[in-house]
Amino acid sequence: MLRKGYWIGLSAILIVGLLLTACAPKTVTVTVEVPVERTVEVPVERTVEVTVPAPKGAITVLGVWGGDERVAFQDAVAPFSEQTGIGVAFEGTRDLAAVLTTRVEAGNPPDIAILPNPGQLYELAEAGHLVPLDSFLDVNQIAADYGQSWVDLASYDGHLYGIFYKVAIKSLVWYNPKAFEAAGYEVPTTWDELIALSDQIVADGGTPWCIGLESGPASGWPGTDWIEDIMLRTAGPEVYDQWVRHEIPWTDPAVKTAWETFGQIVRNDDYVWGGTTGALSTNFGDSPAPMFDDPPGCYMHRQASFITGFFPEGLVAGEDYDFFPLPPIDPQWGTPALIAGDVVVMLNDTPEVRQFVEYLAGPEPQEIWAGLGGFISANKNVSLDAYPDDLTRKMAQAITTAEVARFDGSDLMPAAVGAGSFWSGVLDYVGGTDLDTVLEEIEATAVDAYGQ
């Protein structure tokens, strides 16, 4: 009896499986070209059925965006689809590098990819997988819209391969204006004032800084931003560039000074909320939260413009939180801006994709997204009125008008250093390892990584 029941069960399962096999994939598979001889034989009803729902012809976009970014991007490209009838299918994954490499190697790259940093752009361009954008975009228009540094960063071997899209400025110190006012603190304008303010806060029984270095497998990167920012202020942009290109070793005094300056803050247990242990074990996104407690757990937090997405809900920009630029250290280098951004690249050259890239580069979609928040454009002709609040406007202005801007160095270094030994080096240093040891270790990996 039982066996019979089992028999029936098994065959039922098999039948269901077969049915699913038979009916599910129709829409997707058949769109791939059928050999010509065959199409002749196929009955008319069938060919009709096949061509109906396929959203092929839609432009495929692979990017790192998710959540409200994904929604905002879809809103931003909606007018394009309406005007041209060309659909845009967005695929998001935070593991972009792996998926994109696989797709490219397997021969079906997406039409457009949105890379989180220019490092992969250079790799893809070198391998010949990218379409040079200056082959069809109006170069003068690009020059008028984007600052030269953005164009240079997205160029490889004399050709423009990318458009910087969603950019961020990293040289910001966030603070809580209400807490500052209550304690009678002033926004510092020089490094000495910043340190004096930190000492003042400690003397008043508070903690000046919130620092969080934990970020899963990428732990340590917030520290690299600190060091890069300081390096720009102590050694200047030329030395910074040499350092990023590994023309000076990691053991160079200029590099060492930057680390030591960072160490003065992060390795001082009085300065950092939770001390070095707190800095090492707190997630970067969670770390600014104590700033908004009453009494404040800390008063300042150096982080990029995107950190506002992690702030507790219900805070008002400009009232509950505000920022000041990380102050200059050596007056001759002023207040340079450390920047980062996602870059749009093109992998398939078709007229539709060209049209789409032209649309993306222009101000219209960027103004739509800017209005939805969480977006800063690198395009100078995106109206500042498009941003939802004064704070974002201030950041956008800082990016497009910065006299000296440098891209996040760790994003430009070879991955073994910029996404490897530099990150772990920061953690070791904060954890108490001797600075010379840390720098020698990074130097050893850099010699390997750049040598290739």
Residue 229 in contact with residue 170, Cβ under 8 Å? Answer: yes
Closest CA relative to residue 336, chosen from 174, 211, 170, 118: 170
Residue 380 in contact with residue 146, Cβ under 8 Å? Answer: yes
Q: Rounded to an integer, what distance in angstroms lies between the CA atom of residue 125 and that of residue 155?
A: 9
Shortest Cβ distance from residue 5 to another protein (Å)?
10
Shortest Cβ distance from residue 214 to another protein (Å)?
11
Taking the least distance from each CB to another protein, the nearer of 54 and 248 is: 54
Please provide the DSSP assignment of 52-97 as one string: SS--BTBEEEEES--HHHHHHHHHHHHHHHHHH---EEEEE-S-HH
Taking the least distance from each CB to another protein, the nearer of 55 and 79 is: 55
Site residues, another protein (CB under 8 A): 2-3, 6-7, 10, 13-14, 16-17, 20-21, 24-25, 28-30, 32, 55, 60, 62-70, 89-95, 99, 102-103, 105-108, 116, 215, 285-286, 289-290, 293, 306, 309-310, 312-313, 342, 374
Taking the least distance from each CB to another protein, the nearer of 275 and 373 is: 373
Shortest Cβ distance from residue 208 to another protein (Å)?
19
Q: Rounded to an integer, what distance in angstroms lies between the CA atom of residue 387 and that of residue 442?
A: 41
Question: Under 8 Å CB-to-CB from 47, ≥6 apart: which residues?
Answer: 39
Q: Within 10 Å of residue 180's Cβ, how many Cβ atoms?
A: 17
Closest CA relative to residue 72, chosen from 355, 375, 386, 384: 375
Please provide the DSSP assignment of 265-293 as one string: HHT-TTTBTTHHHHHHHSBTTTTTGGGGS
Q: Rounded to an integer, what distance in angstroms lies between the CA atom of residue 387 and that of residue 363?
A: 13
Shortest Cβ distance from residue 4 to another protein (Å)?
10
Shortest Cβ distance from residue 145 to another protein (Å)?
23
Question: Under 8 Å CB-to-CB from 90, ≥6 apart: which residues?
Answer: 61, 63, 65, 70, 73, 74
DSSP 8-state symbol, 209: B
Taking the least distance from each CB to another protein, the nearer of 103 and 380 is: 103
- Helical H runs in 267-362? 275-281, 351-361
Taking the least distance from each CB to another protein, the nearer of 288 and 409 is: 288
At 124 the three-state DSSP class reads helix
Q: How many CA atoms are closer than 13 Å to the CA of 229, on its beta-carbon side?
A: 26
Shortest Cβ distance from residue 356 to another protein (Å)?
16
Shortest Cβ distance from residue 101 to another protein (Å)?
8
User: What pairs with residue 209 in β-bridges?
Assistant: 272, 300
Taking the least distance from each CB to another protein, the nearer of 95 and 403 is: 95
Taking the least distance from each CB to another protein, the nearer of 98 and 203 is: 98
Taking the least distance from each CB to another protein, the nearer of 220 and 328 is: 220
At 135 the three-state DSSP class reads helix
Question: Under 8 Å CB-to-CB from 191, ≥6 apart: which residues?
Answer: 233, 327, 328, 329
Shortest Cβ distance from residue 113 to another protein (Å)?
13
Q: Within 10 Å of residue 54's Cβ, how many Cβ atoms?
A: 15
Taking the least distance from each CB to another protein, the nearer of 191 and 407 is: 407
Taking the least distance from each CB to another protein, the nearer of 249 and 275 is: 275
Taking the least distance from each CB to another protein, the nearer of 20 and 42 is: 20
